Copies of this chain bind each other. A is one copy, B any other.
């Protein structure tokens, strides 16, 4: 098959989507398709305009012989509002209410179309932040953490609740569960986190903030840096949370009569106002 511009556009799009947050050289594309770098530059400018037009992501092109292209998923504010409005509708279902003010979310966080949208949404928040690794705690935070990691193209690490032989040597911390006030232990394999790494913590649900605070302690133990904390949903909590500065997509409130109301969390105002994105 002779590789024309139309074929290149398809494969460049695929390649960039599979390698977000990574500078891909013009040389890579040029050699792959047997095309001049000037032609590839024109291809990239088409990809860039299209992605911007549809509110999907930004493509930065670095000019010159050593240049390349850098794709980062970025949802427009309009797309973000649509995703969050859809989620609010999905969540506000009284049958999701569980004892203790918890909310059943596992089905949503096991659905690919939701994970894709939510991953791109949270990745938008860190588009200009230096992130080295995503951290979560087993079990229900994993799908969301993985999805964000995929779109930021950074590894994710899973903090475990107890010692597992298949993790090798670990570092552990004690933490107080904010909801139940019990002292628990969490640990992370020694080889997973590098000193000085910039870490984003992801979890599914925020109540008292105890597990978030535990992960903060672990980050300190590894001499790493916390750069952000995100949850899918925050519930109501009587009293003061153990952490502040958590970004939530949704906020759910259980009523006294087993009702459940949902609304947008602080994501939209955090990401689209403070940081001045359009």
The residues of A with any CB-CB pair to B shorter than 8 Å are 1, 3, 5-7, 9-11, 13-14, 17-19, 46-47, 49-51, 53-54, 56, 98-100, 102-107, 110-113, 115-116, 138-140, 142-143, 146-147, 149-150, 153-158, 160, 164-168, 189, 191-192, 205
Contacts and interface: CB of A to CB of B under 8 A. Distances in A.
A160 B99 CA distance: 18
Nearest to A7: B50
Contacts of A10: 9-10, 13, 46-47, 50-51
Contacts of A13: 9-10, 13-14
A10 B5 CA distance: 11
A7 B46 contact: yes
Given A50-B7, A50-B11, A166-B98, A192 B107 contact: yes
Nearest to A189: B106
A131 B139 CA distance: 24
30 contacts: A1-B53, A3-B53, A5-B6, A6-B9, A7-B46, A7-B50, A9-B9, A10-B47, A11-B54, A13-B13, A14-B56, A99-B165, A103-B166, A104-B166, A104-B167, A104-B189, A106-B157, A106-B158, A106-B166, A106-B167, A106-B189, A107-B155, A110-B158, A112-B155, A113-B153, A116-B150, A138-B139, A139-B139, A143-B146, A166-B205
Contacts of A56: 11, 14
A10 B155 CA distance: 27
A104 B103 CA distance: 34
Contacts of A167: 104, 106
A85 to B, nearest CB: 19
